[in-house]
Amino acid sequence: MRQILTWLGFEPMAAAEDDDTVRRIADELDRLEPARARYVAAFAYILSRVARADQDVSPTETAAMERLVVEKGGLPPDQAIIVVQMAKTQHLLFGGTADYSVTREFARIASREQKLALIDCLFAVSASDDAILTVEDNEIVRVARELKVEHADVVRLRGAYRQHLAASRGLGDQT
C-alpha cells in the first residue's frame, strides 16, 4: 500500500494512524453507489484532462479540482483529494488513449445540466491560475464536442471567464 501511495505522489506515511486514515477513505470510496462512483471518477478525470492540456497541472489547478469534486461530486475533502490524485495519475498514464472513452462514458451517464456544469468547471480549473491558455480552451471545446454540448453553450459559459482568456490578453499559447 505504501509503495502505491508513494508512486501516486503521496508522501510516505510515518504513523499507523495515517495508514488507517487512508484505509478508511478507501473503504468509504468503495462503498459509494457504483453509478455515483462512475460519475465522480469520470468528472475528475475530465477535469484532469483539461488541467494537463498544457502538460502541467499546477497546484492551483489541483486545488480547484479538489474543491469542484467536493462541490459537484458531493465527496468530503479527504476523499476528493484522493479522487483527484487518482484521476491525475490515470490521465498521466493513459491520457490520449482513455480521453475519448471516459468522456463518452460521462456523456452517457450525465444529464444536459451536468454536462454544462462540467464545462463550466473546466473553465474554472483552467482559469484558476489566472490564464486560460489557448491549448486549454481548445481542449474544453474538444470535450464539449465529445459530450455533444452545443457550441453556443460553450461560448456562453466561456464568457464568464473572458478576463482569463490568454488569447484575448495577448499571452498566446505559452505551452
Summarised one tens digit per residue, pLDDT across range 33-69 is 888 888 998 999 999 999 999 999 999 999 999 999 9
How far is residue 103's CA from residue 125's CA, in Å, rounded to a whole number?
17
User: What proportion of the chain, given as a percentage, has pLDDT over 90?
Assistant: 57
User: What proportion of the chain, given as a percentage, has pLDDT over 70?
Assistant: 79
Residue 155 has pLDDT above 80, yes or no: yes
Distances (CA, A) of 119 to 31, 34, 100: 28, 23, 15
Q: Are residues 22 and 55 in the same domain?
A: no
Identify the sign of the CA torsion 8, 10, 11, 12. negative
SS3 33: coil
Q: For residue 89, what are the domain limits? A: 33-169
Specify the higher pLDDT residue, 19 or 86: 86
Q: Are residues 81 and 93 in the same domain?
A: yes
Number of residues assigned to the chain: 175
The predicted pLDDT at position 24 comes to 66
| Cell (9 digits) for 72 | 459537484
Residue 2 covered by a domain? yes
Residue 156 has pLDDT above 60, yes or no: yes
Cα of 117 vs its chain's centroid, Å: 12
Residue 133 has pLDDT above 60, yes or no: yes
How far is residue 30's CA from residue 65's CA, in Å, rounded to a whole number?
21
Q: Are residues 60 and 129 in the same domain?
A: yes
How far is residue 169's CA from residue 132's CA, in Å, rounded to a whole number?
10
Q: Are residues 156 and 78 in the same domain?
A: yes
Residue 173 has pLDDT above 50, yes or no: no
Residue 95 covered by a domain? yes
Q: Are residues 9 and 83 in the same domain?
A: no
Residue 20 has pLDDT above 80, yes or no: no
Strand partners, 132: 165
Indicate the number of domains in the chain: 2
Residue 74 has pLDDT above 50, yes or no: yes
Residue 11 covered by a domain? yes
How far is residue 56's CA from residue 22's CA, in Å, rounded to a whole number?
26
Least confident of 13-27, 29-43, 139-153: 13-27
Residue 174 covered by a domain? no
In the chain, the largest separation of any two C-alpha atoms, in whole Å, equals 52
Report helix angle 77-109 to 59-73, nearest 10: 70
Q: Are residues 52 and 113 in the same domain?
A: yes
User: Confidence band (pLDDT; 50, 70, 90) for 118?
Assistant: very high
